[in-house]
Structure 1
Amino acid sequence: MEPATLVDLFAASAERHPERIALDVRDTALTYRQLDTAAARMAAVVVRRLPDRPARIGLLAARSLTTYAGYLAALRLGAAVVPLNPSFPAGRLRAIADMTDLDLIVVDEHATARAGELAAAQSADGTDGRKLPPLVTFTDAEAAGAVAEDVQPAPVVRVSPQDVAYILYTSGSTGRPRGVPIRHARVVPTLRWLVDYNAFTPESRVSQNVEISFDVAVFELFAAWASGGALVVPRPNDVVRPAPYVNAKRVTHWFCVPSVGGIAARTGGLAPDSMPSLKVVLFGGERLLAEQAEQWAAAAPGARLWNLYGPTEVAIVCSGQDLGGKGSLLAAGTNGTLPIGEVPPHLEHVVLDDEGEPAETGELCVRGVQRFDGYLDPADDVGRFVDWSPGRAAVVHDGTAPLTQDLWYRTGDRVRRENGALVHLGRLDHQVKLRGHRIELGEVDAALARHPAVRDAVAVVQEHESDAELVAYYTGEAVSQSDLTAFLRARLPVYMIPRRFTHLQKLPLNANGKVDRTAFAAGPHSAAQAG
């Protein structure tokens, strides 16, 4: 029987390749047999702490043995995994824990201080917090399997493909994060397609470059484990200086957020021919420029380059493009970015214009087996889906009718078909992608406006050649940069904190009386003039 859940994918490889390396992290390597045993014993410890089978388990961990054994342990118990990034403010983590109604939180030994803050924190969104669930901390030694001998491994709980595999939180325009539950049945087809598409085999050594709170991490973990390959976990500094790590660990598959790769290029980390072991370089998370692809092709002359695209709500990736390799790279689209390619045949897609009619240029809408079943809070579904069929204009979902699989998910991304492939043209709303992170500018606005000295605030992204930065403008009393930064650090992840803050007497408005974000494109001077 073909594996139908994430834990089935791992289990099948553990049965076929028990002595192959499954995980290489912090200079410790575990075989599939060892990692399977570690996850089973961790699951047994979790079971002892709870009266009933858990439905949702938080994972407060990053780049440790506990991270990966804990992920598998939660799935083994039939629970949905809810990643809690230790770098996030305690208030935000507490809000996520409260909104998700967690049964238990697994903590690695490197996040114990954050766990203590979490226990004392109130939700950053101002909601009344529920009682924090039990916290269970594992050292790296325990995660490696050195649990007390009297702990018998917990058996795998049989789950349905329709059960939720994981819940990720994305930035929300209302000022609070949005929960995105993804069922096993939604993500397994993505993985099957990508494993074949990108040539993953038992010989593959796959980098795990992004934090597990980012959906691409699910791809990295289970593309490696579904194929019987090894998951190798670099430190954050290795991701921006890849060559020494890639060569030392003989990495074959590397995922790269283009702007992070740009940092590597500017610091001399992408020297020509510096990474001969790479067979595949995968890009995603933001626009990819021809110059960025060429730098990687030169540094990894034996690699094929692929551009992947997809929102969290459509199970990680819903289109891809083979870009070629050194000396044979695909040409950029008319806007200077590399195409995001084709939607796979197991999904349906349509491009709709502003009138809800099919068009060559417009919003990409997707439905099919990978499309999620709605946000954790149904109120977030309003406006995010559309009812469309050939011959009639689209109708936006307003929440009054049931959310069915016939509805199309509105990605919010504007695309155009060029030479048979989709090219990403930008967003239709105030959501941005910055260094691979999805940011709703409205959430930054709302957080900054909570400062007692700030009356109104607006965050924008300003682009500079191949890089971009998040900046903010505000009215009210003038406040120091350090004060505003410290205020936001207690409420937002670091990647959502603007690099610069500019005080204005008033914000520029458009003809409809709304803040004119376009007035900020040229910087503070143009914004002040428009205001």
Structure 2
Amino acid sequence: MARTLYQWFADSAARFGDEPALEVGGDALTYAELDACAARLASAIARACGGPPRRVALYASRDVLAYAGYLAVQRLGAAAVPLNPAMPDARNRAVAEAARPDIVVAGTGGPVPSGLCAPVLRVDPVLRADPVLLDPVPHGSGDASGGPGPVAADPDDLAYVLFTSGSTGVPKGVPLRHRGVDAYLSHVIPRYELGPGCRVSQTFDLTFDLSVFDMFAAWGSGAALVVPRGYDLLKPVSFVARERLTHWFSVPSVISMATRLRRLTPGSMPSLRWSLFCGEPLTLRQAEAWRRAAPAAVLENLYGPTEMTISCTQYRLPEDPAAWPATPNGTVPIGLPYPGVEHVVLDGDGEPAEEGELCLRGPQRFPGYTDPRDNEGRFAGDPGLSPDPAIGAGPAVPPELWYRTGDRVAWRDGVLVHLGRLDQQVKISGHRVELGEVEAVLRGLPGVEEAVVLALPGEDGEPELRAACTGSCLDGVTLAKGVAEVLPGYMVPRTVTSLERLPLNANGKIDRRAVATALTG
């Protein structure tokens, strides 16, 4: 029987009540204490809503409220909708408008955006004070109690709803079911040998789906979740060493940042047993730098769109760096799909091929976007949709359909290599150009640490290649000549701009739109 997220946590709380569950902002809570915090907050939410809610938005980040609040929502059998206080108010309002939560739970430390389409329950971030309901309750009297006990949820109910960027500028709602997360946790917890005594990093904001691994792979196993302070993310090596972390999970950009700060010295992270990276391509150079600093850790590269529940493929680098693979674009392979995740690579005609778009299905696949219009073109085959009130206005997409990831992959030596997004394959002067191939050549030139290549409109309106690089003593003309020595002329960037650092988005990924702005002035 598939377990819900709260059941994964509750089972650990029953077995490991005195073990550390959460360390954040100077507070340390055992499993029993964190469960008690979640129970108190769940009762307050239920009273404010006049009963168990359907969806709850969390306007909190990196404090006890954020984590106890997430558990409280799961305890009530509701779906969590994380909001990011660091995001613009307009973005949070757009997410709330699309999600339609019954209530917004927020801390008392700062203002909450107006117009969030739901009453706001203000809570002391460390749950020392009684919650205060700011807005009128839209239904009921607000004095009914959901009771102190957990509300039984079905594995096919929604666990959370996250929002990704939409091509129209409106955030796309991605609902995920408990059943999919259960399949995921059942695989990753034993694979990474998680359990009491393990100390797991929490580098991702709750609006980023990879945070679900941080929280529930830890809490589903009896491990401790260790949350960095803001400045810790700028100095990950110091954070790992100080907190004696055993498991690290982040985007690869963290490696580049630590390299720039000259923090990745050999053997500087001796406590790490597992190093996991996901969210963007992991280069072999980045992996080599991290491996030297954490020589005792197994290093894995993971891949997975939000729509496939956190991650769904894995590649473990061999212990001997001499046995590491060589790939066309200098990135670590994404490997093979998890058990139960079905996969097919389709060419432009929709036929199975050695290279093309990766399409996926199985228990980890999401049921379809909250707005049914976003489903168009995202599934291989005729959706044949029928209404499903569980995911909102959207219908459930039949499970036999393949989710089209939009990612180009190729089979190399029995594993999948990520070649970039479909929209990163461009035509220059009639020639097909893989931006990742140009980036790989730039990264191989002396002094270059990171490289991003974009196809931007030229003066004549036709696309032209422009590049941004980070590193030391870089000269754009010299770098362009270096590319010209390896690649044909149509693949040589017209300009190569040296930047102190590549801009990152809120999830720590390279922000290509911001790079484009930097290159065009």
Per the normalisation by structure 1, the TM-score is 0.76
Q: Is the aligned partner of 1:204 residue 2:198? A: yes
The aligned counterpart of 1:41 is: 40
The aligned counterpart of 1:485 is: none
Q: Is the aligned partner of 1:79 residue 2:83? A: no
* 1:406-436 residue CA offsets vs partner (Å, 9 max, x unmatched): 1000011000111111000011136999xxx
SS of corresponding position for 1:429: helix
- The 3 A distance-change label for structure 1 pair 495 and 102 is farther
The aligned counterpart of 1:192 is: 186
Counterpart-to-counterpart distance in 2, 1:108 and 1:494: 29
The aligned counterpart of 1:386 is: 380
* 1:285-339 residue CA offsets vs partner (Å, 9 max, x unmatched): 1111111001111101110000000000000111001113474662232221110
Whether the aligned pair in 1 keeps the contact of 2:199 and 2:225 (CA below 8 Å) is: yes
Whether the aligned pair in 2 keeps the contact of 1:416 and 1:424 (CA below 8 Å) is: yes
SS of corresponding position for 2:213: helix
Q: Is the aligned partner of 1:498 residue 2:514? A: yes
Q: Is the aligned partner of 1:107 residue 2:106? A: yes
Q: Is the aligned partner of 1:362 residue 2:361? A: no
Counterpart-to-counterpart distance in 1, 2:358 and 2:255: 27
Counterpart-to-counterpart distance in 1, 2:147 and 2:228: 29
Q: CA deviation at 1:197?
A: 1.9
Counterpart-to-counterpart distance in 1, 2:471 and 2:339: 33
Counterpart-to-counterpart distance in 2, 1:47 and 1:185: 24
SS of corresponding position for 2:329: coil
Whether the aligned pair in 2 keeps the contact of 1:43 and 1:77 (CA below 8 Å) is: yes
- Paired AA for residue 154 in structure 1: P
The aligned counterpart of 1:242 is: 236
The aligned counterpart of 2:282 is: 288
Structure 2 unmatched runs, 5+: 133-144, 387-394, 426-434, 437-453, 473-504
Corresponding pairs, count: 438
Q: Is the aligned partner of 1:139 residue 2:124? A: yes
Select 2:314's aligned residue among 317, 320, 327.
320
- Paired AA for residue 149 in structure 2: P
- The 3 A distance-change label for structure 1 pair 147 and 379 is closer
Whether the aligned pair in 2 keeps the contact of 1:64 and 1:108 (CA below 8 Å) is: no
CA-based RMSD? 3.3
Counterpart-to-counterpart distance in 2, 1:318 and 1:209: 19
Select 1:464's aligned residue among 456, 466, 469.
469
Counterpart-to-counterpart distance in 2, 1:425 and 1:254: 25
Whether the aligned pair in 1 keeps the contact of 2:305 and 2:311 (CA below 8 Å) is: yes
Counterpart-to-counterpart distance in 2, 1:272 and 1:416: 33
The aligned counterpart of 1:9 is: 8
Counterpart-to-counterpart distance in 2, 1:37 and 1:180: 30
The aligned counterpart of 1:64 is: 63
Q: CA deviation at 1:465?
A: 6.4
Whether the aligned pair in 1 keeps the contact of 2:385 and 2:396 (CA below 8 Å) is: yes
The aligned counterpart of 2:484 is: none
The aligned counterpart of 2:220 is: 226
Q: Is the aligned partner of 1:420 residue 2:425? A: no
Q: Is the aligned partner of 1:275 residue 2:291? A: no
Q: Is the aligned partner of 1:163 residue 2:157? A: yes
Counterpart-to-counterpart distance in 1, 2:235 and 2:396: 49
Counterpart-to-counterpart distance in 2, 1:426 and 1:499: 17
Per the normalisation by structure 2, the TM-score is 0.78
Whether the aligned pair in 2 keeps the contact of 1:259 and 1:466 (CA below 8 Å) is: no
Whether the aligned pair in 2 keeps the contact of 1:234 and 1:245 (CA below 8 Å) is: yes
Counterpart-to-counterpart distance in 1, 2:516 and 2:413: 40
Whether the aligned pair in 2 keeps the contact of 1:294 and 1:329 (CA below 8 Å) is: no
Counterpart-to-counterpart distance in 2, 1:92 and 1:182: 21
Counterpart-to-counterpart distance in 2, 1:334 and 1:494: 21
* 1:219-241 residue CA offsets vs partner (Å, 9 max, x unmatched): 11000011100000002321231
* 1:222-272 residue CA offsets vs partner (Å, 9 max, x unmatched): 000111000000023212311221122111111121122201111112111
Whether the aligned pair in 2 keeps the contact of 1:386 and 1:410 (CA below 8 Å) is: yes
Q: CA deviation at 1:193?
A: 0.7
Whether the aligned pair in 2 keeps the contact of 1:297 and 1:326 (CA below 8 Å) is: no
- Paired AA for residue 171 in structure 2: P
- Paired AA for residue 70 in structure 2: Y
SS of corresponding position for 1:48: helix
- Paired AA for residue 50 in structure 1: C
Whether the aligned pair in 1 keeps the contact of 2:52 and 2:146 (CA below 8 Å) is: no
Counterpart-to-counterpart distance in 2, 1:235 and 1:325: 32
Percentage of matched positions with identical amino acids: 44
Counterpart-to-counterpart distance in 2, 1:204 and 1:402: 38
RCO (CA 8 Å, sep 6+): is it higher in 1 or 2? 1
- The 3 A distance-change label for structure 1 pair 243 and 49 is same
Whether the aligned pair in 2 keeps the contact of 1:209 and 1:236 (CA below 8 Å) is: no
* 1:500-526 residue CA offsets vs partner (Å, 9 max, x unmatched): 647xxxxxxxxxxxxxxxxxxxx659x
Whether the aligned pair in 1 keeps the contact of 2:2 and 2:179 (CA below 8 Å) is: no
Q: CA deviation at 1:44?
A: 0.9
SS of corresponding position for 2:301: strand
Whether the aligned pair in 2 keeps the contact of 1:207 and 1:251 (CA below 8 Å) is: yes
SS of corresponding position for 2:156: coil
- Paired AA for residue 265 in structure 1: T
Counterpart-to-counterpart distance in 1, 2:323 and 2:120: 49
- Paired AA for residue 13 in structure 1: S
- The 3 A distance-change label for structure 1 pair 68 and 251 is same
Counterpart-to-counterpart distance in 2, 1:179 and 1:461: 33
Of 13-22 and 233-242, deviating more is 233-242
- The 3 A distance-change label for structure 1 pair 495 and 463 is closer
- Paired AA for residue 79 in structure 2: A
- The 3 A distance-change label for structure 1 pair 244 and 465 is closer
Counterpart-to-counterpart distance in 1, 2:13 and 2:363: 27
SS of corresponding position for 1:423: strand
Counterpart-to-counterpart distance in 1, 2:151 and 2:406: 37
Counterpart-to-counterpart distance in 1, 2:2 and 2:22: 20
Where do 1:347-496 residues align within 5 Å?
Answer: 347-387=341-381, 397=383, 403-429=397-423, 462-464=467-469
* 1:445-483 residue CA offsets vs partner (Å, 9 max, x unmatched): 9xxxxxxxxxx9x9999452689xxxxxxxxxxxxxxxx
- Paired AA for residue 243 in structure 1: V
Counterpart-to-counterpart distance in 1, 2:520 and 2:60: 39
Counterpart-to-counterpart distance in 1, 2:410 and 2:11: 40
* 1:184-216 residue CA offsets vs partner (Å, 9 max, x unmatched): 011111111111222212221000001000000
